[in-house]
Structure 1
Amino acid sequence: MLTTPDFTEITPTADILATRHGSRAKCLQRLARLDLPVPLSVALSFDTVRQIAKGKIPNMAALLGVFGEGALVSVRSSSQAADWGGPGTILNVGMNDAVASRLAKLHGPDAADALYLSFIKAYAVDVLRLDADVFEGPITPRLAKTYFEDEMEEPFPQDPAVQLTEVLRSMARAWEGTTARLLRQAQGAPADAGLGLVVQQMALGIGQGASGSGVVQFVSVDRGAPQITGRFLPQGQGRAALNEQDAQFIESDARGPALEDICPEQVEALRKAAALMRTRLREEMQIEFTLMNGELFILDAVRSTRSARAEVAIAVALAEDGVISREEAMTRIPPFTLNQLLHRQVDARAARDVLTRGIAAAPGAASGKIVFTAEAAQSAASQGEACILVRRETSPEDIRGMHAAHAILTERGGMTSHAAVIARGLGLPCVSGATQLQLNARKKTLTVPGRKVFHEGDVITVDGSSGEVLAGVAAMIEPALGGAFAKLMDWADAARDIGIRANADTVEDATMAQRFGVDGIGLCRTEHMFFDPIRLTVMREMIFAEEPGDRTAALDRLLPMQRDDFTELFELMQGQPVCIRLFDPPLHEFLPNERDGIRAMAEAMDMPVSRVASRIESLQEFNPMLGMRGVRLGITVPEIYDMQARAIFEATIAASEGGAPVVPEIMIPLVSAKREVELVKARVDAVASAVRAESGKAFDYRLGVMVETPRAALRAGEIAESCAFLSFGTNDLTQMTYGLSRDDAGRFMSTYVQQGVFPEDPFQRLDTEGVGELLHLGAERGRAARPGLILSICGEHGGHPDSIAFSRKAGFDYVSCSPYRVPVAKLAAAQLAVQDRAPASTAECRAGDDELP
């Protein structure tokens, strides 16, 4: 074993560390420890590569001396984590006229010329960054060297030391470049992440006997099931076998020639090597190999290529086979990976005709006919036609159409716009903020600049996972909610130590939440129940009523509808907690704002158009988010909350008959003062007493507050005196803390994040310092005043792993999120619990960690 300050030969006993030499170097050492046929390899540390980038070159004579005179080597990148990337491999370093002549005698001039030409091109284009077009076409090595000399004004270097120096320098500097830094930081690498390099003796892959290169793995890419996947290229090098038309199958295959047909012993050796890696490295690996005259060399091994579905299947299979623990299996899967299992996805192998890109606001994909109104979406659904609802931006009026649509596309908005939030709750794909689109709702056209004009009825595909809008119908992969996924969720439920509830506004939402095994409903937004056409008419009559008695009469017609809603919801949840938020939005959201809608409403209500228009204008607010909504509406128009409370209590009685007792949770929105809670609580208590007296039935309920204003968080101590729970609505709390509209923030948020104003978009990731401090203060002051107070987060942040980590640390009882975020939240919660209980168990996971043999 040779070790110098600059490099270390990779042997079973060498001092090789992933944190010093990178994951590839460490994996090669493990393969050597397993006595697998790895070519002679040398590792250059992070520090050495940093010095190379600054111009300090290692002793090339000593480095090349490891391999012997006339040897050819490859140079491979070795970042600390494989996902952090790195410069591409350079093969055949050391190739020159003398070596080419020697290889021509051994393997023939054609093979030698092919190797030489390949290296000249790689050296010129990938190392020295010359124009690739110069070296295109059917040229010889001699002509390629002439082109090189014309471009560089010097001969092609013949000295292996010069070649290797330039290769190392190029790769070191590429790692320090801005593009490479941004790419690896996007994968979670620190800004100062180091790069190691591996210099490895070439196994040429050419010869008279069975020779060539290949790549193979023993699980399928799509599902993670046992399956040989890969290709072998006779008389070839590197990973080119995956792309070459002349490549062969690995396993005998009726579709064409295969390596197993001519070299069954070598294929069996690959099977045994993969099985050994699976057991000892505790991972399914993809193997890069070379055959030279029938002799097998393993050049490298990395985690097998896999989809999200395969990621889950592989981890679960390793645990069930006793290779890893269940706890470790859970920690291996990034929580957001599950999004790709819960929704239909565009097949990665399918052709993609991208029309435009926007914000990937809700995962999944769907194809359908373009519709421009909620009514058109409902009409399409009634005829069994898939449709895509395209709007400039959505509003609560669009709820029924959003339910009917298969996906949503908006010109405006961001990750927390109305369209995005509702789409995630419904499990619909959504692309928002597609600003390049030109939407004409009157003409019912959608123009894609530079492409074409789409009309209502034309078919497009919305990919909410990538943010892309595609022309026509795209091939899809169906979701996978059984098998390995179901087992993973069972393990997560057993491990987690914080409650996970769902935000569910309808029975359909609650049904999906139950499918994912939630601990209850943490937020039921009742306003979405009022947009049914029949209910909307009655709602408008209530809004236009000028006397309390008239309002009460209209609300009496809504009462049985609300009661039926809540009864069905309570029965579905089978005694689990259901938290119902009382009416929140301003009244103008239930009124039309276009001429045709105003005229239709006037006709339905038998009123003059002028009076309807005047009343609508009087209800408009300068800033509706901060106006008469939430508890303010409940105090000024108390009949609304009275009706809802009665509907909840009557439904409680109905759903409790013959089943588990229902204890509803009633949540007051947008509270800022203790007195607001006292006023609403008094009326709710009075309604409860009346219902008990009328029915002769006893029931319990809990009253709480949705903390959405900074003042409510700061005064949580006195507010909690009248509450059983505080649920923090982090969407509005973030808006009010920042003084920032979530619907408008998308216009500049990326610039803010890029320039370091905010580390992350606070509407996507909870601001644990600013907004989080308000949560801490509210939790501490609330529980100080009322020990045992239930605390939760019910905003969209609730399903994010960071929010769950914050909630656990702050002592919250549960988080609530959209139904389709429940599996993500469960897995994140389980991972945090596992890490807290047994930190060592997660440190020893996959190939890349230094603790493994």
Structure 2
Amino acid sequence: MAEKHIYRFGNDANGNNVTETAGKTVDEAKWITGGKGANLAEMANIGLPVPPGFTISCQTCVAYSSAGNVWPDGVLDEIDKYRKDLEERMGKKLGDKGDPLLVSVRSGAPFSMPGMMDTVLNLGLNDDSVQGLIKQTNNPRFAWDSYRRFITMFSDVVMGVDGQLFEDALNKKKAEKGVKLDTELDADDLKSLIPIYKQIFSDNVDSKKYPEVVVGGKPVFPTDPYLQLRLAEQAVFGSWNTPRAILYRQQNKIPDDLGTAVNVQVMVFGNKGNTSATGVAFTRNPADGTNERYGDFLVNAQGEDVVAGIRNTQPISELPKTPGLEEAGKELYHVFEILEDHYADMMDLEFTIEQGKLWMLQTRVGKRTALSALKVAIDMYNEGRISKETAVTRVAPEQLDQLLHPQFDPNAKYDVFAKGLNASPGAATGGVVFSSEDAEKFKKEGKPSILVRWETTPDDLKGMVDAEGILTSHGGKTSHAAVIARGMGAPCVCGVEALNIDAPNRTVTVSGSDVVLHEGDVISIDGSTGDVILGEVPLIRPQLGGDLKTILDWADEIRLNPKRGRIMGVRANADNPADAQLSADNGAEGIGLDRTEHMFLGDRKQLIQNFILAEDDDVKKESLEKLGEAQKGDFLGMFKAMDGKTVIVRLLDPPLHEFLDNPRDLEVEIAKEEAAGKDCTKKRELLTKLDSFQEANPMLGLRGCRLGLVYPELNDMQVRAIVSATAELIQQGYHPKTEIMIPLIAFEEEIKQIRKQIEDEIKKVSDEYGVELDIPIGNMVELPRCAIMSEDIAHHSDFFSFGTNDLTQTCLGFSRDDAEGTFMPVYFDRKIVKTNPFATLDKGVAQLVDMGVRGGHKGNPNIICGVCGETGGDPESIQMYYDLGLDYVSCSPYRVPIARLAAAQAKIHSNGGPVPVEKR
């Protein structure tokens, strides 16, 4: 059977639903017809009014792109067949002079990518069919408005002509007529724009790139509706691989090989007068989760007007009260209920009202802020719509960053000089920038910025990522800036009408005040209130509580319940008492990694330098004693903060030279002093010693367990500090659960010898304090040989902790310090790697982890396995770690809440998914 490329949706001429994905769930269909196509089909299946159409599959896009933008065999014939079917269903034909069929051509990937790909509306218009539209509607203004919109959009989206050229022509016409709004232009005004627009097309289309539209040696706007359709379909496929779409996928970890579908759908018109309208809405508030109808609409407009922010919108709450739209507004409110009941989630939807008739153009699970995600999940559980497991899966772990990021200090005093719409919560402060390029430049210079725009477009995505926040003078809460900012968790204030932005001259004036902003001037924005403040406002990090605490408590209940599957613990990487306390406050069940080398910084650096460089044994001994006392004090504080919880202390890991001054800096200093006639004999001797500790490849040199074997007194000092602190706290009535970890083990004999050394020191301290001590001893698995030989090594180890930073480095041969700044960008561009292996667990490294876990349990059935590398806080990696059988993950204190949620979700996904609501 030939591969199917196209699927129809909606009703036939008799009103019967002929949707061809009716046997598939939305989740199944979205991989074929994309999210938009799958949801259009689903709305048709449940009886909602959906304009008929057909969808060209995502797989066709992949085949088309992979073949160098060549259509697969037979697809164009199949499209022609479905186009004819649509014409039959509607009783109209594209380009007809008497009663033309007009269609929209829209993208639709399996994952929502709002504003990233292309759309063409009003397709099928030409000089003949526009007359038919006038005849059928008896509305010349509407027809000419639709035609000029089509020329603009087709030229911009399909042919690459700068849309601003058409906007400039429109503004010139409005200036000639002395009006401010498009709606104030009459039919003759709009008709007069058509030849101007066509000339812009001819003057700016690349004839070599688009030979299909060349007539008589020059580009001519295409009148053949079938050519219009094919070019538009190709443009939508092509938009999958635009820089902005690729960047969006990178930011949201969407695979590049999914492709986008193309939805060809009968046009319905919101610009047919005051009984027509268009809008974008959410079934609940996407900013804070309040159970209210939320969104914007415009009377006598098309959908692009709403999201583009060209006209200021009206709130959706006004729709049922708007003359001529009352019944459609009431019907829309009923559709809100139907969609929430059907999907059991907060939905985002697009609609058009054509002369009082409601049409649904799209629905999808609504993007929301972390604050909204928490509230909606909890409310829907309390309403009995979803189970607790489903509620926990409804909050993306990455979203919690929004709640864990700074807010304005409530004690700060400041004056608000402008106010807009609170489009995306959170607070930010930074210098004003007017372009993506400037935002990128500020970031490279280490300076925070606020991107200030009239309204953002998809091409601004890079700047939106690099800026701390976004501020626009136009647009509503469903504008491009608002939607993208909420998805990224970036603060955003939209629709600040008082701002008069002069981007070319890089200034902003504020109506009604004498405030003038220039590039680099510092402002602050509050995306939760819509406030804009001159100058810097102090920011604070919020505490865990409220809905966040509820969801995290539910997550803990799930991941720590052995009846629902294997327990997945969450610990923190912390190196001092303050971080240990923060870890405990954020819900960590222990410390998975205490990097003792971080305790040697600051004033203590001189002590370790004295030990390394001194030739006198007494000096070395004195330095070690002082370091031991200092470390013991740190351990006392950490063990108290984590009383009753496991604290794994790793013995010294990095190369010794990291504690020494840079010899090259000393060499420059010597050269300057000798040039001034100073005697630098002693400094020359010091330089020789410093150089003797330099290694060609220090990350693979004298470090980790090798240090303890070459300098056993270092291990003795550290173990005594750890164990004596433990013993003292036990004497004081505390309950420390101390464990000692040996880094960089590769050979069985290494761990045998070092373990004996540690056990001997533990016994000495135990005898001195008269306290019985049970301190497990384990090792990091950060070398491939350790993973390969894990069964042998586990005979001498109580626990394994996978250090994925070094394990990734030694597995791939990538320098974790250099790779990202040298060849990794090329690897990303050429798709050799799809994710940063130091941020998300690489599949090859995962194989080593799997080998280590399985071998470890063979050598020691009671061994505990965890991870303490950077990937321990990455949700995607946490899923892999759960499936690999790890007992816990450990991450930075600030990512502990994220890891708690991700670990619960990993357990749910690996154990058959959420419990159905009826089994709550």
Deviation per residue, 1:735-789 (Å, 9 max, x gap) = 22333321111210122344354454332232332x3343333333333232212
Match of 1:620 in 2: 694
Alignment of 1:40-119 (within 5 A): 40-43=52-55, 53-54=71-72, 55-56=76-77, 57-59=79-81, 60-69=83-92, 70-77=99-106, 79=108, 81-83=110-112, 87-97=117-127, 100-101=130-131, 104=134, 108-119=139-150
Say if 1:331 and 1:842, in contact at 8 Å, map to a contact too.
no
What's the secondary structure of 2:121's corresponding residue? Answer: strand
Match of 1:512 in 2: 582
Say if 2:35 and 2:112, in contact at 8 Å, map to a contact too.
no
Classify 1:367/1:540 alpha carbon distance in 2 versus 1 (closer, same or farther; 3 Å).
farther
2:379 and 2:256 mapped to 1: Cα distance? Answer: 32
Classify 1:360/1:344 alpha carbon distance in 2 versus 1 (closer, same or farther; 3 Å).
farther
Alignment of 1:680-699 (within 5 A): 680-699=754-773
Classify 1:476/1:123 alpha carbon distance in 2 versus 1 (closer, same or farther; 3 Å).
farther
Alignment of 1:111-510 (within 5 A): 111-129=142-160, 132=163, 135=166, 136-138=168-170, 140-141=190-191, 144-145=194-195, 148=198, 151=202, 152-153=214-215, 163-164=228-229, 166-168=231-233, 170-172=235-237, 187-189=253-255, 191=257, 193=259, 195-207=261-273, 209-244=274-309, 246-251=311-316, 260=321, 262=323, 263=325, 265-344=327-406, 352=433, 355=438, 357=440, 481-496=544-559, 497-510=567-580
2:828 and 2:84 mapped to 1: Cα distance? Answer: 47
Match of 1:8 in 2: 8
1:627 and 1:125 mapped to 2: Cα distance? Answer: 58
What's the secondary structure of 2:344's corresponding residue? Answer: coil
Write the letter of the residue equivalent to 2:803: G
Offset at residue 517 of structure 1 (A): 1.2
Say if 2:882 and 2:907, in contact at 8 Å, map to a contact too.
no
Say if 2:123 and 2:228, in contact at 8 Å, map to a contact too.
yes
Offset at residue 521 of structure 1 (A): 0.8
> For 1:748, which of 823, 831, 848 is the aligned residue?
823
Match of 1:466 in 2: none
Classify 1:162/1:317 alpha carbon distance in 2 versus 1 (closer, same or farther; 3 Å).
same
Classify 1:720/1:145 alpha carbon distance in 2 versus 1 (closer, same or farther; 3 Å).
same
Does residue 590 (structure 1) correspond to residue 659 (structure 2)? The answer is yes
Does residue 714 (structure 1) correspond to residue 788 (structure 2)? The answer is yes
Classify 1:95/1:259 alpha carbon distance in 2 versus 1 (closer, same or farther; 3 Å).
farther
Q: TM-score, normalised by structure 2?
A: 0.70
Write the letter of the residue equivalent to 1:126: V
Structure 2: unaligned runs, 5 residues or longer: 12-16, 65-69, 93-98, 174-189, 203-213, 408-425, 451-467, 469-489, 491-505, 507-519, 526-533, 560-566, 674-680
Say if 1:663 and 1:699, in contact at 8 Å, map to a contact too.
no
| More divergent stretch after superposition (161-170 vs 815-824) | 161-170
RMSD across aligned positions (CA): 4.2
What's the secondary structure of 2:817's corresponding residue? Answer: coil
Offset at residue 623 of structure 1 (A): 2.7
1:44 and 1:806 mapped to 2: Cα distance? Answer: 34
Offset at residue 581 of structure 1 (A): 0.6
Write the letter of the residue equivalent to 2:658: E
What's the secondary structure of 1:22's corresponding residue? Answer: helix
Say if 1:500 and 1:815, in contact at 8 Å, map to a contact too.
yes
Classify 1:775/1:842 alpha carbon distance in 2 versus 1 (closer, same or farther; 3 Å).
farther
1:178 and 1:41 mapped to 2: Cα distance? Answer: 29
Offset at residue 13 of structure 1 (A): 6.3
Say if 2:727 and 2:766, in contact at 8 Å, map to a contact too.
no
1:480 and 1:823 mapped to 2: Cα distance? Answer: 11
Say if 2:7 and 2:19, in contact at 8 Å, map to a contact too.
no
Write the letter of the residue equivalent to 1:543: I
Query: Which structure has the higher relative contact order (CA within 8 Å, separation 6+)?
Result: 1
1:182 and 1:366 mapped to 2: Cα distance? Answer: 21
Offset at residue 295 of structure 1 (A): 3.7
Offset at residue 267 of structure 1 (A): 3.7
Classify 1:327/1:527 alpha carbon distance in 2 versus 1 (closer, same or farther; 3 Å).
same
Deviation per residue, 1:475-515 (Å, 9 max, x gap) = 98965743332222222222222222111111122122112
Structure 1: unaligned runs, 5 residues or longer: 369-406, 408-428, 430-450, 452-457, 464-470, 845-853
1:579 and 1:563 mapped to 2: Cα distance? Answer: 15
1:271 and 1:655 mapped to 2: Cα distance? Answer: 63
2:257 and 2:587 mapped to 1: Cα distance? Answer: 40
Offset at residue 572 of structure 1 (A): 0.9
Classify 1:349/1:219 alpha carbon distance in 2 versus 1 (closer, same or farther; 3 Å).
farther
> For 1:723, which of 764, 774, 797 is the aligned residue?
797
1:292 and 1:757 mapped to 2: Cα distance? Answer: 49
1:356 and 1:246 mapped to 2: Cα distance? Answer: 27
Say if 2:107 and 2:236, in contact at 8 Å, map to a contact too.
no
Q: TM-score, normalised by structure 1?
A: 0.76
Write the letter of the residue equivalent to 1:206: K
2:611 and 2:59 mapped to 1: Cα distance? Answer: 73
Deviation per residue, 1:661-702 (Å, 9 max, x gap) = 323111112223333333333332222222222222222111
Does residue 662 (structure 1) correspond to residue 736 (structure 2)? The answer is yes
Match of 2:838 in 1: 763
1:571 and 1:832 mapped to 2: Cα distance? Answer: 31
Write the letter of the residue equivalent to 1:541: N
Offset at residue 196 of structure 1 (A): 4.1
Classify 1:638/1:167 alpha carbon distance in 2 versus 1 (closer, same or farther; 3 Å).
closer
Deviation per residue, 1:425-466 (Å, 9 max, x gap) = xxxx9xxxxxxxxxxxxxxxxxxxxx9xxxxxx998999xxx
Offset at residue 658 of structure 1 (A): 5.3
What's the secondary structure of 1:560's corresponding residue? Answer: helix
Offset at residue 87 of structure 1 (A): 4.7
Say if 1:84 and 1:187, in contact at 8 Å, map to a contact too.
no
Offset at residue 22 of structure 1 (A): 3.4
1:365 and 1:495 mapped to 2: Cα distance? Answer: 42
Say if 1:231 and 1:242, in contact at 8 Å, map to a contact too.
no
What's the secondary structure of 2:385's corresponding residue? Answer: coil
Does residue 560 (structure 1) correspond to residue 622 (structure 2)? The answer is no
2:752 and 2:122 mapped to 1: Cα distance? Answer: 80
Classify 1:673/1:212 alpha carbon distance in 2 versus 1 (closer, same or farther; 3 Å).
closer
Say if 1:347 and 1:475, in contact at 8 Å, map to a contact too.
no
Write the letter of the residue equivalent to 2:290: A
1:729 and 1:187 mapped to 2: Cα distance? Answer: 24
Offset at residue 168 of structure 1 (A): 4.1
1:686 and 1:792 mapped to 2: Cα distance? Answer: 26
